[in-house]
Amino acid sequence: MKKRILGKSGLEVSALGLGCMGMSFSYGPPKDKQEMISMLRTAVERGITFFDTAEVYGPFTNEELVGEALAPLRDRVVIATKFGFDTSADPRAMKGGGPVLNSRPEHIREVAEASLKRLKTDVIDLFYQHRVDPDVPIEEVAGAVKELIQAGKVKHFGLSEAGVQTVRRAHAVQPVAAVQNEYSLWFRRPEEGLLQTLEELGIGLVPYSPLGKGYLTGKMDANTTFDSTDFRTTLPRFTPEAMRANQAMVDLLGRIAAQKNATPAQVALAWLLAQKPWIVPIPGTTRLERLDENIGAVALQLTVDDLRDIDSAAARIKVEGARYPEKLEQLTGR
């Protein structure tokens, strides 16, 4: 497995990470714990060293899963987790239609201590603010994480779905190692200023949903149905009408994949990897064959001509449907 360094942080990880959320949360019922422990350990054997979780996934159960699975392999892996939601009640509880945020410094310290226990570790490698809290100045957030770093409880500071100015302000207080953002061929907003800012500041980008929450794999269409507990049932981009309209993007990936003896998912991931050497996608999966398929993308070389053809064709495709309901979209880009 090739390695990459997230910006100027010195944090070296596998070129592809593994998003662990879906093992416990959001994509239908939680998966069998022992099967997921086995898969996480197999991922390490396959060369994956970068694992992504959060306290809110479950809540708490995903961190516990990752902690138990990776404890025997702790010296071989980098674990990223996140703070920023109020989990004193059900994190899915809605206040005014959106999740309850809490990035007060005292809460950040509490979350760090709890996450360390659940992850069965004495240090968090990468600690992200999950969503920007408009009620807490980002300088206070960065300062709180800086103190955790100085105390040896956290190694690196990250932000998720933060706006450019927020990234700059946070980075001035405590260097940001990585920003996590949705980024893929069907969601390219990071190209509108964020990528340029990260390059300027020497910050890595960790794209989540690099396969469009499964859509870009070509394994679903307008007739696909989801379990009632699958959060894609709430997303405008996953209505039958939107999926039918967006089939052109999957068809594009399929054409390139046929030429490369690859799969649409591998082309989508290879496209991301080709954008910048400090980009590390974290596709999630609960199936070993999908993990192996995703890992195969690291060896897939797209030429300059390939990339130009993909961009040219993608530019002619208008992606239909918002990625989130309005209340969740309001939490991003702040």
Tokens 């714990």 identify what position?
Answer: 33
Cα 205 to Cα 277: distance, rounded to the nearest angstrom? 10
pLDDT at 329: 94
Radius of gyration of the chain from its Cα atoms, rounded to whole angstroms? 19
Residues in the chain: 334
**Are the C-beta atoms of 156 and 126 separated by less than 8 Å?**
yes
Q: Which residues contact 191 (CB under 8 A, 6 or more apart)?
A: none
pLDDT at 305: 93
Report if residue 252 sits inside a domain: no
Report if residue 72 sits inside a domain: yes
Across residues 125-154, what is the average pLDDT? 98
264-279 pLDDT, tens digit per residue, is 999 999 999 999 999 9
Lowest average pLDDT, out of 83-92, 211-220, 297-306, goes to: 83-92
Q: What is the CATH number of the domain that holds 206?
A: 3.20.20.100
Which residue is catalytic, options 27, 57, 183, 215?
A: 57
Report if residue 115 sits inside a domain: yes
SS3 state at 256: helix
Has 57 been annotated as catalytic?
yes
Domain around 138: 3-211+275-300
pLDDT of 136 higher than 90: yes
pLDDT of 315 higher than 70: yes
Q: Which is it for the CA torsion 107, 53, 212, 8, positive or negative?
A: positive
pLDDT of 38 higher than 50: yes
The two tokens of residue 259 are 């030429």
The count of C-alpha atoms lying within 13 angstroms of the C-alpha of 187, restricted to the half-sphere facing its C-beta, is 19
234-287 pLDDT, tens digit per residue, is 999 999 999 999 999 999 999 999 999 999 999 999 999 999 999 999 999 999
How many domains does the chain fold into?
Answer: 1
Report if residue 263 sits inside a domain: no
pLDDT at 91: 47
Report if residue 40 sits inside a domain: yes
pLDDT at 88: 82
pLDDT of 202 higher than 50: yes
Report if residue 156 sits inside a domain: yes
- The closest of 55, 57, 51, 54 to 71, measured between CA atoms, is 51
Report if residue 256 sits inside a domain: no
Across residues 159-182, what is the average pLDDT? 98
pLDDT of 18 higher than 70: yes
The two tokens of residue 209 are 């949903």
The gap between the terminal CA atoms of the chain, to the nearest Å, is: 35
Report if residue 314 sits inside a domain: no
The two tokens of residue 75 are 């010296």
73-122 pLDDT, tens digit per residue, is 999 999 999 999 998 855 454 444 568 999 999 999 999 999 999 999 99
pLDDT at 264: 97
40-57 pLDDT, tens digit per residue, is 999 999 999 999 999 999
pLDDT at 90: 57
pLDDT at 263: 98
The two tokens of residue 9 are 């942080």
Strand partners, 124: 154
pLDDT at 99: 81
